[in-house]
Structure 1
């Protein structure tokens, strides 16, 4: 029996065609979506730029660190080469000592350190001189006990009285019967140094050094000032910048003024010390030239003044001689009258004076304006004839 499909066909519903207005909603949705995507794109782009900037900074820092590590590695390499060279020299030196059986001090003959009497200010210098001297005798002072025995022999005064019980215990008793302090001092040389420092060292060495540096001023040469400064600065743990500032404060004012125009500016204490020494040498040379110039002007003025006085004296003498000769001539001949005689006399004297003016600078050398003024006054006085005709 055939199936009835009328109901099925009637049950199918066909969707009606979409209205054109529905496209506007879709377009709005797409635009909103596109705007959102654009904002995301901009945000990602800005983030990428920020990351690039951060990465660039990190790269630069890493490059700087690599450069520092390279410098350190280079320095370590140079230090290793230096150590290797020193080790080689030490081996050769040791071989020489073994072959000859002599210490370098037996050949070089260094001066024995001065004795120490307990003066606190001389303690560090004494300890330094001791170590320096003992380095010349590595065979003789190969043990701490030998170093201490040598150091004990250089004590006197209060220092000797302090160590005398320890020395007495050392020389009178075998090792197993000695006191703990005696064994402590003789078994390690550093312990001997510490005992002296505790007994005679400055309690506030750093504070005293700082006080001296604060009050230190340059009164003589730059070398003396810098030497004293370095001696006191060795007791402090200041940084480079603090030392440079303090050195500058203690300089003479003229040296400070000269440093104003120095380029480039010093970056280390050694640079500043070199510039200060050079600057003071230049300042002293300039001052010496100025003093010499002033002295020359003064001497020139004196010579010029004496020359002017001498000129007047010679002119007076020559005028009198000329007048005497002229009067004798007048008395004999009786021809020239009074007016003619004086005119001839003035003309000849002026000529003689002109010749003297030409010769004087060669005789007296270079003179200043005051000397020239003296010549001028002498010339005017002579030509005026005031006080000279009689």
Structure 2
């Protein structure tokens, strides 16, 4: 083999190696973007059984879990399907007709309108679950709590005069 052909082979190999390295970097960047950037670990939400006192915690845990797994839950209905997989008891009984409709139809156009609406996004799911299990009179209950507040002792830094 001549020295010239060995030199050409070596330079061809070096060029191919550089091309593969570049392609590898691009694939890693694409993969990281699909996975939502940095990989944050979040525990799956605890199951929700319909207890109104646990509803907001459930919603917060679901949001955190979805944020950590954004790259994996990107198609229509996937986030709601994931959230509904953590329902049990009364909450599952309430949502089961939607799950059945969603899971038995491959096209969303074939689903009932109510199912399409609730699977359209997490905001619709949250509104629906709050409507079913949230505190019906949350605002009035909070007003009552404010009215029941009482001062139980002397303020520590009471101004002695209001001179300016």
TM-score with structure 2 setting the length? 0.69
* Unaligned segments of structure 1, at least 5 residues: 1-94, 217-248, 263-390
The answer for the alignment partner of 1:158 in structure 2 is 90
Determine if contact 2:45/2:58 at 8 Å carries over to the other structure. Answer: yes
Note the alpha carbon deviations across 1:312-353, whole angstroms, 9 max, x for none.
xxxxxxxxxxxxxxxxxxxxxxxxxxxxxxxxxxxxxxxxxx
What pairs with 1:285-296 in structure 2 (closer than 5 Å)?
Answer: none
Higher relative contact order (CA 8 A, sep 6+): 2
- Number of equivalenced pairs: 132
Please identify runs of 4+ aligned residues in structure 1 that moved more than 4 A: none
Determine if contact 2:42/2:64 at 8 Å carries over to the other structure. Answer: no
The root-mean-square deviation of aligned C-alpha atoms, in Å, is 2.5
Cα drift, residue 109 of structure 1:
1.6
What pairs with 1:116-131 in structure 2 (closer than 5 Å)?
Answer: 116-131=48-63
The answer for the alignment partner of 1:253 in structure 2 is 153
Equivalent residue in structure 2 for 1:211, among 136, 140, 144: 144
Paired residue secondary structure (1:122): helix
| Structure exhibiting the larger radius of gyration computed from Cα positions | 1
Separation in structure 1 between the aligned mates of residue 98 and residue 53 of structure 2, nearest angstrom: 24
TM-score with structure 1 setting the length? 0.31
Separation in structure 2 between the aligned mates of residue 163 and residue 141 of structure 1, nearest angstrom: 20
Separation in structure 2 between the aligned mates of residue 201 and residue 104 of structure 1, nearest angstrom: 34
Determine if contact 2:35/2:72 at 8 Å carries over to the other structure. Answer: no
| Larger proportion of helix | 1
Cα drift, residue 204 of structure 1:
0.9
The answer for the alignment partner of 2:79 in structure 1 is 147
What pairs with 1:312-323 in structure 2 (closer than 5 Å)?
Answer: none
Separation in structure 1 between the aligned mates of residue 29 and residue 140 of structure 2, nearest angstrom: 45
* Unaligned segments of structure 2, at least 5 residues: 1-26
